[in-house]
Structure 1
């Protein structure tokens, strides 16, 4: 999280934050970093909604749970996105499929400046 704190994003297309860094990533000091970032941020396998990361007033430990199947959640240029697992099943194959879709989304964001 030190690179995020220092906003060192040169040479990166996106940042994916995974467990066990999610509670730290949800600290209020990072919300503005995600909002103003020139690259997308994604949060993997979080049990709480994305606003725990994006809203300084929302506490990670006390937020609503994610919808079933949400595995990867992202934010970029004021837009959020979530990617689920096939049939809400957490397996090596469904996780790989979610990351394949994520990499395509990152390419689109790199080319267009948004998720679409």
Structure 2
């Protein structure tokens, strides 16, 4: 079984393709750190679109999503962006929890798994 790694770094790859599935790393808003939740979510989902395209798939094939919020008070704000982005009729299973993220400028982190 082949394994394809996308944007390989010394600590982790940004995406891995194996067995007909694409797994992304947790994605944070590198283009909008410190911005409001909605702006960070928009940045993250754009990045996820890029990673999925690089592996030959897209958001219509999402299977799972895990979302971490630094403050659950941002849940509705994040959902407003998520709901506009996700493909109607192709919504993945999803979990969303509040947790402390790796750095204080990040308020949202999202990881997805998709089919090819």
TM-score normalised over the length of structure 1: 0.29
The structure whose residues are more often strand, as a share, is: 2
**TM-score if structure 2 supplies the norm length?**
0.29
Flag the structure with higher helix content: 1
